[in-house]
Chains A and B, each alone.
Chain A
């Protein structure tokens, strides 16, 4: 299985992934990134902070960036707007 690295860029800086994770393919890597964003944001939300200004950079074993996933991509966002009723 190929190894993917998940570097996190967000409000508290850059967290490099030095170890990487062995996953089936790039689709699995993408699912891992989305899952991880949800996991990190839900913990921050419990502390009362909702900061979606960040992204995960999925990088392959040759240090080639495969895809950057912005945090908002992991969510269906419904923000309060003017009500019609």
Chain B
């Protein structure tokens, strides 16, 4: 059930059989979530953290005028709110973009895990540090990259993150967003987003249609985006 979390961690460090067993005991109780459902609301008290098993979710914040910024995307194997373990409530909402499956880790179990398994604790800490690194890269995109480079960068990032957990087929992957939601990731209106997608298509770099991203020229896409996977920490090293 939590194999994609193992895949994600094993890229970065060794995971012992005992540590895998502990994670299996900690993350339990599978649940289904329909698409477009807010699963965590800002301010709500938290007593457990959620692991995404299947599907796509996002973190978002919005303004009173209805404008919404998606600040992160979550792929299977990601915790949605491991930061909630120490924060105890969130400053943002979490929503499912597609039908999802999730599992829960009670904070009381996580407390025991942190007391008894220091290396595993550091690995979980690593995942929240990785979330922060991804946030910084999105900040660079939103502040400085052009619209087309921003979209290209997002497609490169998801290609890497989904590849690790076995969700890239050939050069394509499922990306079940509509153009409004993609625009909310990129800080653009859906109409502007559509125009940017046209540019990627015409330059034969990537296409996004019907919830599927097809990468036609990965090197070209990475060059346009100035994508450097270093911020995803894809190296295995003792942590």
Instruction: Please report A residues at the B interface, Cβ cutoff 8 Å.
Output: 6, 8, 15, 17-19, 21, 32-33, 35-36, 39-40, 43, 46-47, 56
Contacts and interface: CB of A to CB of B under 8 A. Distances in A.
Nearest to A36: B191
Contacts of B146: 43, 46-47
Contacts, number: 42
Interface of B: 146-147, 178-180, 188-192, 194-195, 198, 209
Contact of B192 (A18, A43, A46, A47): A43
A8 B199 CA distance: 13
- Most B CB within 10 A of own CB, among A19, A35, A56: A19
Contacts of B190: 6, 21, 32, 36
A42 to B, nearest CB: 10
Contacts of B180: 21
Contacts of B188: 39
Contact of A32 (B178, B189, B195, B209): B189
Contacts of A19: 178-179, 194
Given A43-B146, A43-B147, A47-B146, A21 B179 contact: yes
A8 B191 contact: yes
9 contacts: A8-B195, A15-B195, A21-B178, A21-B191, A35-B189, A36-B190, A36-B192, A43-B192, A56-B191
